[in-house]
């Protein structure tokens, strides 16, 4: 006799598939399905089953046939148990019979737990109908109570195996008791596994004042539970804003920062920007910042792409490069009043005919893309100068959806249709060599409306040619392209790029505070339904951020 797993190799080998959890809600049985293999005319299974309608008393084995199954007097309120027995029969001794699974088919009506259960503490942990642990414990104890030994036999039962439901009262009475205790036992057992119980973890962390998103992975919840004091220590620091996986001093951050968890931040598409404004970037700093100005030009912390916090180009690996052989880092030593300390610039030389070189997209590298919010306006800006020759510069913007599918942007200059376009500047040349120019292109929000006679300051990049774009509702990622295009084959020379930025264009408010330090402004999308914007702001002020900050939140 050899039954290995679900394989029967010899005649009379049997596999008994025992009953699991009682089935409730089954109102009629119409047949069965099975998945077996290896049967031949001389090597086949003998199929039998037995069942219990009260979870305690079983019938004898019956042939597993549809008539026998349909003949079961099932009731949806019964705790129906069924056990299968597959035995190898036939004459052939060779070969294997493989049993994979068997299922009965029928009509199932989901039972309702009832208001009593639904309003009990148990409901928070498990359902009334299908909880394996509870039902198993319930049936097990009921069987013990039913059988002689625990309850006096003066309470008559089991004489006829409850063949005619004559023990129904006994069974139902003790079943209620044992199942209730089953619920209690099962409830108690929840706390044996708090590490894996999301709800308990969420409640535990919540009770300890830690903010987590209900969707936070259990592993992250466990980490937070274990590193509770670390999490507390992160409050009042930028750590509350760091994403899971972001390198902090070379170490990947294991969980999202608490502010992100509070927002239920979705890193796939959500915009999140957090800036502690530099002192010369708000209020009134003569020559640096104006109280009525709402632009966000040169806010390093808001730069969303590439080398985010610096103007110089120092690491090409952070850029999506096309024709890397034509792109290098050069130190610009020519003083120019237009740009302060251009220590590192990106030198792009004209590629061979028919090609382009620079920052751009051949195959999208989403590690070098950035999330955007379609309700926000963004500015792509960079300084550029012609180093030699007469190169033509093109600037484009490529959009992608939540699953990284390409999505077109729209040209705001041509209307009212605003046709799809990714081109901002195509083959523009600069009039002088050696002079730095600042190119600013705007990506408007999806709600931007074409207006007849929009001035060039709206429609046209800063150098007076090209057109600005608007995004689409579904676009949540972009990758810009700044290239020298030599499709004509006649371009020559090279250009230098410096201070390449992609950041929100402006605020909806001015920042004309006098003598205010630690001005913090955020742009963030709230995915949680647990808190209102106002509550989130209160939590940020009271618990997550230093008291001395001046906070301005922009909920997207």
Partner 1 sequence: MNLKMPNNLFLGKEELNHLKDSLGENGYRRAFKQIAKSYGVVRLPSDVSFTSLKVIPGTTNGQLTVKAGTAIDNNVDVIEVLSDQVDILTTAGDNVTRYVVVKYNKSIIPKGTVSISATGEVTGVGTEFKKMVRGLPNFPSLIKFNDSVNTQEYQVASIAGDTSLQLNVASGVLTAETGKTYSVVGTFTPGIAVPTGSKYPLELDGYTLSLEATPTVTEGVEFVLAAVQNNGAVTSITDMRTSHSFEIIGSDDDESMTETSVVIGHDSVRNPHAKSPKDVALLTTTWSFNSTTTNWLHNAATQKLTITAGSGGSLVDVSATSTGDFDGWKVFEKNTGNTVRVIASTRVGANMVLDLEYIESMDLSSEIKIVPDADLIEFTTNLSESFDSLINKRFLFNINDGTANMELVTGKTYRMLWRHIKGTNVTKWNDLNDGAFQPPANHNAVGVYVGGTATAYVAVSGIVIADHAKNHQDDKASRTDPNTFTLSSTNTFDGSVTINKEFILGTYVTGGSLAPITNHNSTVFEGYASTTSNASSGDVTFTGFTGGTNGRYVVFQSSVLSTSNIILTHDDVGSSSGNRMILKNGKSIVLSGGDSITMRYDSIYNRWVEVSSTVKAPWTIYNVPMTLTGSSVINWTHSLDRTRYRWADNNTLMITVYKEFERISGAPTITQAALPLPVNPSSPTSLLQQDVTGRVVASSTGSNTGQTQRPCVVNITAGQIRFTNSFDSAAWTHNSDLVVLSGTFIIAYA
65 vs 63: CA distance, rounded Å: 6
Half-sphere exposure of 71 (CA within 13 A, CB side): 10
CB-nearer residue toward partner 1: 359 or 425: 425
Instruction: Name residues contacting partner 1, limited to 288-307 (CB under 8 A).
Output: 288, 290-295, 297-298
- Work out which of 204, 228, 284, 555 binds partner 1, going by CB under 8 A: 284
Select the span of 122-130, 242-250, 314-322, 427-435 touching partner 1 (CB under 8 A): 427-435
Smallest gap from residue 373 Cβ to partner 1 (A): 15
Select the span of 349-357, 414-422, 451-459, 539-547 touching partner 1 (CB under 8 A): 451-459
Q: Chain-centre distance of CA 232, in angstroms? A: 24
Query: Does 278 participate in binding partner 1 (rule CB under 8 A)?
Result: no
The SS3 assignment for 23 reads strand
With contact defined as beta carbons under 8 Å apart, do 322 and 360 qualify? yes
The beta-strand segments (E) located in 378-476 are 378-388, 393-400, 406-407, 410-411, 423-428, 437-444, 469-470
CB-nearer residue toward partner 1: 246 or 336: 336
Query: Does 444 participate in binding partner 1 (rule CB under 8 A)?
Result: yes
451 vs 426: CA distance, rounded Å: 23
530 vs 365: CA distance, rounded Å: 35
Q: Chain-centre distance of CA 178, in angstroms? A: 42
- Work out which of 40, 456, 488, 490 binds partner 1, going by CB under 8 A: 456
Each residue 324-363 as x (binds partner 1 by CB under 8 A) or -, in order, gives ------------xxxxx-----------------------
With contact defined as beta carbons under 8 Å apart, do 441 and 395 qualify? yes
348 vs 387: CA distance, rounded Å: 9
- Work out which of 3, 21, 465, 551 binds partner 1, going by CB under 8 A: 465
Query: Does 464 participate in binding partner 1 (rule CB under 8 A)?
Result: yes
Name the token pair of 186: 């099962």
With contact defined as beta carbons under 8 Å apart, do 299 and 278 qualify? yes
Query: Does 438 participate in binding partner 1 (rule CB under 8 A)?
Result: yes
Give backbone dihedrals phi and psi of 341, rounded to 5 degrees, phi first: 35, 70
At which residue do the structure tokens 């001035």 appear? 455
- Work out which of 143, 166, 454, 472 binds partner 1, going by CB under 8 A: 454
- Work out which of 185, 316, 458, 549 binds partner 1, going by CB under 8 A: 458
Name the token pair of 310: 């610096």
Each residue 46-85 as x (binds partner 1 by CB under 8 A) or -, in order, gives ----------------------------------------
Query: Does 283 participate in binding partner 1 (rule CB under 8 A)?
Result: yes
DSSP of 378-398? EEEEEEEEEEES---EEEEEE
Query: Does 411 participate in binding partner 1 (rule CB under 8 A)?
Result: no
Query: Does 450 participate in binding partner 1 (rule CB under 8 A)?
Result: no
For 267, 336, 431, 449, the CA distances from 467, given in Å and listed in that order, are: 30, 28, 19, 15
Smallest gap from residue 342 Cβ to partner 1 (A): 10
Smallest gap from residue 326 Cβ to partner 1 (A): 21
Smallest gap from residue 129 Cβ to partner 1 (A): 58
Instruction: Name residues contacting partner 1, limited to 382-401 (CB under 8 A).
Output: 383
Instruction: Name residues contacting partner 1, limited to 502-531 (CB under 8 A).
Output: 505-506, 510, 512-516
CA-based torsion, 478, 479, 482, 484: positive or negative: negative
409 vs 191: CA distance, rounded Å: 52
Select the span of 102-110, 202-210, 425-433, 484-492 touching partner 1 (CB under 8 A): 425-433
**Burial (Cβ within 10 Å: 0-12, 13-18, ≥19) of residue 354:** exposed
With contact defined as beta carbons under 8 Å apart, do 74 and 53 qualify? yes
Each residue 527-556 as x (binds partner 1 by CB under 8 A) or -, in order, gives -----------------------x------
Query: Does 463 participate in binding partner 1 (rule CB under 8 A)?
Result: yes
Smallest gap from residue 354 Cβ to partner 1 (A): 23
CB-nearer residue toward partner 1: 112 or 288: 288
451 vs 448: CA distance, rounded Å: 9
Query: Does 100 participate in binding partner 1 (rule CB under 8 A)?
Result: no
With contact defined as beta carbons under 8 Å apart, do 479 and 361 qualify? yes
Query: Does 432 participate in binding partner 1 (rule CB under 8 A)?
Result: yes
Please give the size of the binding site for partner 1, defined by CB under 8 A. 54
Q: Which spans of this chain sit near partner 1 (rule: CB under 8 A)?
A: 283-284, 287-288, 290-295, 297-298, 336-340, 377, 379, 383, 425, 428-432, 435-438, 440, 442, 444, 451, 454-458, 460, 462-465, 468, 505-506, 510, 512-516, 550
């Amino acid at each position: 006799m050899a039954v290995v797993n679900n394989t029967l190799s010899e005649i009379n080998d049997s596999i008994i598939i025992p009953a699991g959890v009682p089935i409730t809600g089954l109102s009629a049985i119409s047949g069965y399905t099975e998945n077996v293999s290896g049967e031949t005319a001389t090597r086949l299974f003998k199929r039998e089953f037995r069942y219990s309608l009260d979870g305690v008393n079983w019938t004898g084995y019956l042939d597993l046939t549809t008539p026998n199954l349909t003949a079961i007097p099932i009731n949806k309120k019964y705790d129906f148990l069924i056990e299968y027995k597959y035995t190898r029969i036939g004459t052939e001794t060779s070969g294997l019979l493989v049993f994979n699974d068997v299922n009965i088919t029928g009509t199932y009506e989901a039972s309702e737990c009832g208001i009593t259960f639904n309003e009990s503490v148990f409901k928070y942990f498990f359902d009334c109908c299908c909880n394996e642990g509870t039902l198993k414990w319930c049936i097990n104890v009921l069987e013990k109570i039913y059988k002689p030994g625990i309850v006096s036999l003066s309470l008559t039962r089991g004489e006829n195996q409850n063949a005619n439901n004559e023990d129904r009262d006994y069974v139902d009475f003790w079943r209620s008791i044992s199942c209730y205790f089953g619920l209690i036992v099962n409830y108690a057992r929840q706390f044996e596994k708090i590490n894996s119980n999301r709800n308990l973890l969420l409640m535990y962390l919540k009770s300890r004042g830690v903010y987590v998103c209900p969707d936070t992975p259990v592993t992250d919840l466990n980490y937070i539970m274990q590193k509770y004091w670390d999490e507390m220590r992160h409050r009042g620091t930028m750590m509350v804003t760091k994403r899971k996986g972001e390198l902090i001093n070379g170490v990947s951050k294991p969980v999202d920062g608490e502010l992100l968890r509070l927002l239920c931040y979705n890193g796939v598409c959500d915009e999140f920007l957090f800036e502690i404004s530099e002192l010369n970037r708000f209020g009134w700093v003569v020559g640096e910042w104006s109280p009525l100005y709402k632009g966000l030009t040169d806010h390093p912390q808001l730069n969303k792409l590439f080398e985010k916090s610096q103007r110089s180009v120092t690491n090409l690996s952070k850029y999506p490069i096309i024709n890397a052989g034509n792109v290098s880092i050069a130190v610009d030593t020519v003083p120019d009043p237009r740009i302060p300390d251009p220590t590192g610039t990106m030198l792009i030389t004209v590629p061979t005919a028919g090609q382009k070189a620079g920052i751009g997209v051949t195959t999208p590298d989403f590690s070098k893309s950035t999330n955007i919010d379609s309700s926000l306006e963004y500015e792509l800006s960079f300084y550029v100068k012609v180093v030699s020759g007469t190169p033509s510069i093109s600037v484009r913007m490529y959009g992608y959806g939540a699953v990284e599918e390409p999505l077109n942007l729209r040209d705001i200059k041509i209307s009212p249709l605003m046709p799809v376009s990714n081109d901002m500047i195509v083959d523009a040349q600069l009039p002088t060599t050696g002079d730095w120019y600042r190119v600013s292109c705007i990506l408007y929000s999806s709600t931007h409306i074409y207006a007849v006679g929009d001035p060039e300051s709206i429609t046209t990049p800063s150098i007076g040619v090209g057109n600005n774009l608007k995004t689409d509702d579904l676009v949540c990622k972009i990758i810009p392209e700044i290239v020298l295009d030599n499709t004509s084959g006649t371009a020559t020379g090279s250009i230098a790029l410096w201070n390449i930025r992609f950041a929100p264009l402006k605020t909806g408010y001015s920042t004309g505070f006098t003598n205010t330090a630690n001005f913090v402004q955020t742009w963030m999308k709230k995915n949680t339904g647990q808190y209102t914007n106002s509550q989130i702001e209160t939590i940020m002020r009271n618990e997550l951020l230093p008291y001395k900050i001046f906070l301005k939140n922009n909920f997207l």
